[in-house]
Chains A and B, each alone.
Chain A
Amino acid sequence: MQADDVVLRAESITKVFAGTVALRGVDFNVYRGKVNALIGENGAGKSTLMKILAGVEQATSGRLLLDGAEARLANTRDAAQHGIGIIYQELNLFPNLSVAENIFVARELTTRGVINEQAQQRRAAEILARFDQPIDPRALVGDLRVGQRQLVEIARALAQNVRILIMDEPTSALSAAEVAALFRVIRELKAQGVAIIYISHKLDELLEIGDHVTVLRDGELVATAPAADINVNWIVEKMIGRDAQTFFHHDEHTRGAVLLEVTHLTLPNPRGEALLKDISFTLRAGEILGIYGLMGAGRTELFECLMALRTAYAGEITLHGKPVSGDNVADRIAQGLMLVPEDRQQQGLVQSLSVARNITLANLPKITWRFFLSQPDEAREAQRLIGELGIRTANSQQPITSLSGGNQQKVVVAKALLTEPQVLLLDEPTRGIDVGAKAEMFEIMRRLAARGIGVIFSSSELLEALALADRILVLSKGKITGEFERAAATEASLVAAAGAAHNEQGNGRS
């Protein structure tokens, strides 16, 4: 590799936040016209490094070399002037504005001080055409699907003619067809000499699109290698610092009687299209059932029907052979169903309450004596679950926000367990938590199943589904397109089933 291929070089970057070292002497090369993949557990320092490269944060020590000359990026504006663009994981779009307006926000195309709507729309259409996805520049962003919004976010960065583009988990909300479109655009950009810094948790994806893979762990660079020379196991091993097999081990356990049975579940959306179509499956006691599917396949909607968050469904849900009743979440919890929602910040936690109060929230009667809450009971129950799930917190009275993502997720699980569920539903239980915490979450789910609880979890990560589930259902566009016993499931068969409905409708491209 010749030195002049490096467009941006970070040299021995150290970043210290009040007391903690986020990055420790990290070197990172960004190659021109290549996809530079960056991977590591949450907290490994990759987002800090990314923010330093984008001018959001400044390094405590170390330097950045742009085309061999030292550059100071005091803020994002400096970075933008050097042609560095960034696409954040959380979408930063205005739902009340049109696609074109979003793409040109703060950089409006004007004619004599007045916004030139037509020019903006024309230019936006040109950029969007590269994705080959039908997105109208005049549509309101609020009316778009999540995947389309992500493309708009990417289009916004492209509109700036960047030469270094940082992408933080750009595919987390995309369908297979949209991922394919994005990858095509990335390859185009590469051909134009744009350097891409690509961050993702999806390992197979990294290997597909990445040219160079850099692994961070605990703020240090542990390995860097050309993507062609490595495989998924290599990455996992470097990320967690031990053999990947311990992470993906699987033990058979006995499955009991049928607990939950769903028959012909169909859920229409307000426009009359089916969000779920004729879903039927069973769950046995002690079984871990994985639901694999892409974003928008209907996984969340299925859970919402089970929990009565949506009640407009047709079909039958029975628990222990009896139809579930009630049209309120509380009713379903009382019957033994409980959901650990996908988005713990928005749906799982009450940020203003302590760890203990979050844990007891779903079963206050358990800590109520006559009409009053019992502080000792609350502390005891919280402490029991903190111990059982290995939640790392100084004590149960800590603010919930002081915990790491993985430990916050365990608090949500603890809250669910306090309701003594017979069927535990976990929607993307490992989203946004690091590999170490993931392994712990897997262990917890296996333990619960061994206790006889029926566990259903959804995942959009192949390896996760394969590593954990006894049986895997594949959803695609609201339909079950595959059902696999663990022994029979392969990555290829799952991927094929997940895209099945897309291909059927003739707009799949993968």
Chain B
Amino acid sequence: MAEVDSSRRNLREYLFRLRALIALALLVVVFASLSPAFLTTGNLLILAKHVAINAILATGMTYVILTGGIDLSVGSVVGLAAMIAGGLIHQGLALRPFGVVVYFNVGMVVLLTLLAGVIIGAMNGWLITRFRVAPFIATLGMMYVARGMALLRSNGATFPNLTGDAELGNTGFQTLGSGAFIGVPVPIWLMLLFGAAGVFIANKTPFGRRVFALGGNERAAELSGIRINRVKLAVYMISGFCAAMTGLIIASQLLAAHPATGEAFELNAIAAVVLGGTSLSGGRGGIGGTLIGAFVIGVLSDGLVLLGVSEFWQIVIKGIVIILAVVVDQLQQRLQR
């Protein structure tokens, strides 16, 4: 009798845990039956490319949220990264004291841009660990700072034609956003790479375990000898890295860098994390769920577009779905207690 009860309970908990995946499957079935265009290779590739941008951003965000923090600066870092990369390709790096302009090859541009993202993340982490600024506030401030820096880079203008110049040796930037490998666009490969690395690091390395422990009970983690400041610093650096990668992909896709790139992206990333079942108070969840969450958002907007639902209704529906996800999360926590 008791065994039947507990196995039924286990099944219910299991279904709860898979809820994001079940929701995704339901959405796919519904859209596929309502629109013949939905399940075509072309549509799915476009969908996945859109999802990739949010998914990579949300991978970094998941680490931050697992520690119980939040990173509001990522959208601005996306814009700043696009502008840094765009500027380096379009006008090079002017070294005024020497009166020369240095043009880097694309590989170097990508590395420098990623480095910039990591530095911004490190500044977030530094404010949070050194001065005990609440993550919400520190990254809110950094959101403005990074956006302002992106605008300053070009005085608000767009860097066009990022194809590069063969003479300067900086061609090939478009590969990142528009290239393909075995018929699959590079951004999708990058999403798979970031996702796989994210899952692996979270679950299989001491660092990942420390992230979960820190989010679950910071004081207990500290007393267990975990250097919590280092872990926190690292997650914000990871988040900055992921944001810079996202900025690079977008600039590469458009072959142009606009300083408003990535506005409100932080909210989409947080939504994906939450939909994926990661608790905003930290300690529970994971990257796997976040990827599914990003796909739920992507499928939802793609499907609604195909069905011709108004853009404004799409926003309303997205909001309702996020609220539902959190309500269900609360139900699960009550179930476990």
Contact = CB atoms under 8 A, between A and B. Distances in A.
A399 B216 CA distance: 13
B210 A364 contact: yes
A362 interface: yes
Contacts of A332: 225
B205 A352 contact: no
B297 to A, nearest CB: 25
Contact of B217 (A309, A350, A399): A350
A351 B221 CA distance: 11
A328 interface: yes
B220 A348 contact: yes
Nearest to A419: B225
Nearest to A19: B2
Interface residues of B, number: 24
B255 interface: no
Contacts of A347: 217, 219-220, 223
Interface string B183-209: 000000000000000000000111011
Mostly, the B contact residues are helix
Interface stretch (A53-61, A97-105, A367-375, A468-476): A367-375
A289 interface: no
Interface string A344-365: 0011111111000100011011
A197 B2 CA distance: 37
A163 interface: no
Interface in B194-242: 204-206, 208-210, 212-213, 215-217, 219-227
Given A352-B284, A368-B206, A328 B213 contact: no
B221 A361 contact: yes
A419 B221 CA distance: 14
A307 interface: yes
B276 to A, nearest CB: 16
A361 B208 CA distance: 12
Contacts of B221: 350, 361
B125 interface: no
* Residue of B208, B219, B225, B227 with most chain A CB atoms under a 10 A cut-off: B225
A330 B217 contact: no
Given A361-B209, A361-B221, A415-B224, A372 B216 contact: no
B283 interface: yes
Interface of A: 19, 307, 309, 328-330, 332-334, 339, 341, 346-353, 357, 361-362, 364-365, 368, 371-373, 399, 415, 419
A371 B205 contact: yes
Interface in B268-296: 283-284
B225 A329 contact: yes
A368 B205 CA distance: 8
Nearest to B218: A350
B225 A373 contact: no
Given A347-B220, A351-B217, A352-B284, A330 B209 contact: no
B221 to A, nearest CB: 7
Contacts of B206: 364-365, 368, 371, 373
Interface in B223-268: 223-227
A329 B225 CA distance: 5
Contacts of B217: 346-347, 349-352
Given A349-B217, A357-B212, A357-B213, 4 more contacts: A347-B217, A348-B220, A351-B283, A352-B284
Given A339-B223, A361-B224, A353 B213 contact: yes
Contacts of A364: 206, 209-210
Contacts of B284: 352
B212 A353 contact: yes
